[in-house]
Structure 1
Amino acid sequence: MYNNDKFKNTFKEDTKFASKYEIDVINRLTGLNFDYDDLILLEKLAGDDYRKRMYLDENTQIGILEFDLIDLDWKFTPSPYYYQLVDEKKIILKPTKRRLKGKYLKEEYVENIDEYKSIVEDTNYFVGIDIGTFLGVGIKRNDRIKLKDLKRKKEEININKINDYLEKNKKRMDYLVKSSKNILKKYINKYKNKGYVINVSFSGGKDSAVSTLLAKEMIEDIDVLFIDTGLEYPETMKYVKDFAKKYDLNLHTINGDYFWDELDKEGIPTKDNRWCNSVCKLMPLKSFFMENYPNKKILTIDGSRKFESFARANLDYTRKSGFIDFQTNVFPILDWNAVDVWSYIYLNDVLYNPMYDKGFERIGCYMCPAALNSEFLRVRELHPNLWERWANYLKKYYSEDDILRGFWRWDELPPKMIEIKKNLK
């Protein structure tokens, strides 16, 4: 469906605009002074927790932002272009044809030898390297500097605005929206002719907000389904009501508040055993269907995207539910990157969940094992009462270190988490 290379996405992984919270973190770590409307693109990377490449445009990476599970704090790893932005002392190397990348620097290569010695003595870990038309990053190991990376200098590096990006990519967004509407039109007509009842799933997150608005353009009075698990953020509950009112939605709130009743019997939910999804979402949803659409088959419009996770990477545009045998889901924004979702939201001034501005990218249950641990720790800051209720239960089975680092989220710790646990001792 999305086969037009002219509008192909630049980023291979899910990418987003930096939130207000992330910009505050970046400014604290880098010494830069970005504004909230500056264009900072964050591309997801594999890692222990939160880990993203940081770009100022599609071709200018200035570093990696990540959350350290040992120190429980944010960390910034600079790329060469970072040193073109900041006024910091750099090690200046003499021009040479020798291959220096990946090697320790020798004093015979250094042009500013006195500064080099003071930099080696004072620097914590990373240092800028200047060599002719190239910039690099050096890593301090004991009293030596290893040249990690090199990039050719740019004539200048501009700090663009989000609006600049939106204007530049407007045609791509027009194309994506048109394609998504065509997907909806195709499957709505197909399943409507088969007698299916059609509704849309709304979680309170950005993706379902976009798919809900697109669905409403197809069917004005479409049923919009929100499941209240009893584990939602207070901000989400208010947002769902505000969103429904602003866009005049035919909202149905389904009661899924069964988590605490089932917890002792089912055990702590983990990435390997998310029983809570069935108990708090799928079973209540099935009951709602059977009560409100008796003896009917269901087509549900869903905001899932293939960029979100490995599990969703191979989704087709439709999929039969594995739990509700009379339900089929259709995914109109399946091929959208997160930056496309945010572009749609900004271009259309869509009301979005305020939790995104506070350091969350997954909007759902506040103690979800699938969430990032950096987000889990934000719950402690923003909603200590919610944190304490869950942490106090976890203390029956886990140490404080295990709780703070999210080790409870696995039935069996993966190798990378075992390594982190070893390093704590």
Structure 2
Amino acid sequence: MSEPANFEQLGVRHICGISGGKDSSALAVYLKDRVPEMEYFFCDTGAELPETYEFLTRLEVILAKPIARLNADRGFDHWFEIFRGALPSPQMRWCTKNMKIKPLEKWIGDDPAVSYVAIRSDESNRKGYVSTKANIESRFPFVEEGVDHDGVMRILEDAGIGLPAYYEWRTRSGCYFCFYQRKAEWIGLADRHPELFERAVAIEQKVLQDAGVGGDADFSDQAMKGRQYTWSGGETLVQLRARRDEILERHEAAMARTARTRPNLPLVEALAGVLDDDDGTEPCTVCAL
């Protein structure tokens, strides 16, 4: 890793968003002494995993300053009432717009600000949140300084904080019902947080009922296209849970293949590769860094 660049600029706010994921958490630690005036923030949807909130508390100790919670009074339930006709989806990410981007831009206001984004050097083709507001400049310290996945892991280990506990079964931060979630991750949620899984089921069933769609509908039918009736593509959560053994069997077989071909691969990377085979979806980079 090269010597750190001089990120300090006078007369502007310096902000670093934390999603609860490994990359943004590592960036917060990385910038702690480099930018002492840094303001840390977390856009709270009110639907985060318990492991995320616990990790943020531990991270505040490492950073020796609070992480501002944005959006605490207008979480998912508020916006779901407004967008009652459909669940958020990759085609209509009202959750990201209203619970992440708008609260952040309101918090910054018209102040000149530098926003530090946790894109790593080994994924510089990815896109994180880049504001279109003229007063917000985006910087990518890990790209500028050549910090890759291994570098992120070292930062977290050296700080003594490690990874959030959800990385044992899930590869991304974000809402417990995130529509980018993979099949095996939904099963992980059902096993580890059954009450949250049931809440996601209730939301989904309400949408189906309001739309007059039967629970055994074929969601691949042309008539269904353009609307998001289910959290996971092609089936309801009830149907997905009924396939629990099948999904876990495929997942465990894929993990075993990965262990044979890449025996030294860390668990979090092995999970990501296996789950990509299962669903092939990319996460929301605003939420999941």
In 2, distance between residues paired with 1:390 and 1:370?
A: 14
Alignment of 1:2-401 (within 5 A): 175=1, 178=2, 181-182=4-5, 185=6, 188-189=7-8, 192-193=9-10, 195-256=11-72, 257-266=74-83, 267-290=86-109, 295-305=110-120, 313=125, 320-322=130-132, 324-334=133-143, 336-356=147-167, 358-395=168-205, 396-397=207-208, 399=215
Let me know the Cα RMSD of the aligned residues: 3.0
Which residue of 2 is the match for residue 12 of structure 1? none
Amino acid at match of 2:190: R
Which structure 2 residue ranges, 5 or more long, are not aligned?
220-229, 237-277, 280-289
In 1, distance between residues paired with 2:186 and 2:121?
A: 24
In 2, distance between residues paired with 1:235 and 1:314?
A: 26
In 2, distance between residues paired with 1:208 and 1:404?
A: 26
Name the CA shift for 1:338/1:240 in 2 (closer, same or farther; >3 Å): same
* More strand as a share of residues: 1
**Which moves more between the two structures, 236-245 or 391-400?**
391-400
Name the CA shift for 1:236/1:281 in 2 (closer, same or farther; >3 Å): same
Q: Residue 342 of structure 1 aligns to a residue in which SS?
A: helix
- TM-score (structure 1 length as normaliser): 0.45
- TM-score (structure 2 length as normaliser): 0.65
Q: Residue 288 of structure 1 aligns to a residue in which SS?
A: helix
Q: Is 1:255–1:284's contact at 8 Å kept on the other side of the alignment?
A: yes
Q: Residue 285 of structure 1 aligns to a residue in which SS?
A: helix
Q: Is 1:226–1:252's contact at 8 Å kept on the other side of the alignment?
A: yes
Q: Residue 369 of structure 1 aligns to a residue in which SS?
A: coil
By relative contact order (CA 8 Å, sep 6+), the higher-ranking structure is: 2
In 1, distance between residues paired with 2:176 and 2:57?
A: 19
Name the CA shift for 1:227/1:314 in 2 (closer, same or farther; >3 Å): closer
Q: Residue 111 of structure 2 aligns to a residue in which SS?
A: coil
Q: Is 1:270–1:369's contact at 8 Å kept on the other side of the alignment?
A: yes
1:204-237 superposed Cα distances (whole Å, 9 cap, x missing partner): 2111111101111112242111121101111211
* More helix as a share of residues: 2
Q: Residue 252 of structure 1 aligns to a residue in which SS?
A: strand
The higher radius of gyration belongs to 1
Name the CA shift for 1:364/1:306 in 2 (closer, same or farther; >3 Å): farther
In 1, distance between residues paired with 2:70 and 2:159?
A: 28
